[in-house]
A = this chain, B = another copy of it.
């Protein structure tokens, strides 16, 4: 049985979707036990009203939580036994195998930084996100690509970008079953000479690496296209790109809703188109589904979207279980060690 510590507080929808997601999962044939960390009375009350398997969920009391708009450091300093820190400690001590949170992203990263160690070779951690693409990925035809970093490390050195590339590749291989994920650097042109200094230097290092499938630089238009399985960039750029995708999808959903209220002829068209629109809606509503990891710690951490509904939390917990089953952290260690196992040759020497 895999024990997952779920920060059961501080998501946009309050406690309910978190408890209901864990309750849903407890009734499924998946070897995951969810430790609900937070306000004991409120969680117990919510759990009472929700069908669940009591042997698969438990409550761990915590004192307060970091609110969405609160400054992470301020919140964590003021409440040392808040839900995310309590949940992280369960993982640090081994009482749980993975941390899952849909709360304040900065607080999750900072809370994990204060509780876990970083893996060897990792100076800064990376927050991953999935985004919808036109091209499918891997043997399962996954319609989502992986991007990192999307906000944990605003500005990155070349070394940090290459570590992100290795970790992203490892995660994609383990979780999406892609044997050799196509890894790319996000830049302003495909040529190796395009980009910031850090991107150019990371390109040089990755082009020489034989432990991952580096396909070079990709540009902005490759993101929706899905040219790469793993897109690597600094957090400042990744955050803007990801939020822009959310904005575009919100705009598309807004258009669709607006259409519903419009003329009959329009609505009739929409009804006839419904199967096609369902696909668009699936793609644009991706942020409701599951979560993505924060990579670089010596413990597994899954960040679910703050707007997650019960289904999304259930999916995030399943994903968390998968990262434990597939030994994400030990595999990340192996991937990160690759750069020393294959010492780099000088750029001018043939190989």
Contacts and interface: CB of A to CB of B under 8 A. Distances in A.
Interface of A: 134, 151, 154-155, 186-188, 195-196, 219-225, 233, 235-237, 239-248, 250-251, 254-255, 259, 262, 265-266, 268-276, 280
B255 A266 contact: no
Given A236-B188, A239-B188, A154 B275 contact: no
- Copies in the assembly, this chain: 2
Question: Interface residues of A: mostly helix, strand, loop or mixed?
Answer: helix
A243 B266 contact: no
Contacts of A240: 186-188, 219-220, 233, 237, 241
Contact of A276 (B151, B239, B259): B259
Nearest to A189: B239
Contacts of A259: 273, 276
Contacts of A265: 272
A280 B266 contact: no
A237 B270 CA distance: 36
B223 A244 contact: yes
A223 B268 CA distance: 31
Contacts of A276: 255, 259, 262, 266, 269
A235 B186 CA distance: 13
Given A154-B188, A273-B266, A239 B220 contact: yes
Nearest to A197: B155
A167 B171 CA distance: 44
Contact of A236 (B195, B242, B266, B274): B195
B266 A247 contact: no
A236 B237 CA distance: 9
A266 B196 CA distance: 45
Contacts of A255: 276, 280
A158 to B, nearest CB: 14
A224 B244 contact: yes
